[in-house]
Amino acid sequence: MAGQGRQISDRRVDDTMLIREAQHGNRAAFEELVRHYDQAVLRLALHLTGTEHDAQDVYQDAFLKAYKNIGSFRFECSFYTWIYRIVTNLCLDHLRKRNVRKEDAPVVKDADGGEYDLLDQVADGRPGANPERDLMRRQLGARIARALEKLTPRERMVFELKHYHGLKLRTVGEILHTTEETAKNTLFRATQKLRGQLADVR
């Protein structure tokens, strides 16, 4: 535990030096900083946007924005919070635009009138895959994805950061420029809606 604490503290010192170097125009230092955070950023963007192409666009825009504006970073929050703030803003924009368009997956209706995604029916041909369990997992994933789509962008973001990324609600509040209390209320609303949507899934 102490070792882990030291690691986090070392990383912070490390980051501070890299940020200062990047603020003086050292591109290599910035690229090193990117490598510390980019997998988490990509994971968040990938799950929120749903496609590698869009996730790459969010990744690119986020780090370019960070690079151009790193001079304004004044160590008032951690770099982690700062970069997540940029990414979540870009993802929120993406979700809002998508809510307007709503033309994403090749969704069709089944005999009961329920919608399902054609791509979810494509079998996983990898060796060692258990087709039956795999199909069930994919169907559950598709139901959850559709339930998540019904949330407002902000509810979706709070739930995403808490449930899939395990962030503390205090950090979620900081990232979204709001209070911990508001983040708690938003999480409550999001889970209530999801429970309603997924009530028949067991």
Partner 1 sequence: MKCEWIRENIVLHVYGELADDARHELEQHVARCADCAAELKAEQDFHALMAQDRAQEPSANLVAASRMRLQEALETAQQGGWWTRLAFDPANWLRQVRFSPALASAILILGFAGGMGTTYRIYGTRIQGPVIQTGERPAANEASIAGIDSITPVPGTDQVSIKYNTVLTEEKRGSLNDQQIQQLLLYAARNYNNSGVRVDSVDLLAQRSGDLQVREALIYALQNDTNPGVRLKSLNALGNYVKGDTNVRDAVLRALLNDSNQGVRIEALRLIEPVKADGSVRGVLMALAAKDQSQYIKSQARTLLAQLPEID
Least Å from the CB of residue 187 to partner 1: 6
Rg (C-alpha) for the chain, rounded Å, is 20
- Alpha-carbon distance of 4 to 11, in angstroms, equals 10
Rounded CA-CA distance 30/69 in Å is 12
97 binds partner 1 (CB under 8 A): no
Q: Which CB sits closer to partner 1, 53 or 111?
A: 53
Do 88 and 49 meet the contact criterion of CB atoms below 8 Å apart? no
Q: Does 182 bind partner 1 (CB under 8 A)?
A: no
Cβ proximity to partner 1, 42 vs 135, nearer residue: 42
- φ, ψ for residue 58 (rounded to 5)? -65, -45
Name the segment binding partner 1 (CB under 8 A); options: 2-10, 38-46, 95-103, 108-116.
38-46
**If we measure between CA atoms, which residue out of 179, 172, 177, 170 comes closest to residue 156?**
172
Residues within the interface to partner 1 (CB under 8 A): 25, 27, 30-31, 34-35, 38-39, 42-44, 46-47, 52, 55-56, 59-60, 63-64, 67-72, 137, 140-141, 144, 162-165, 168-169, 184, 187-188, 191, 194-195, 198, 201-202
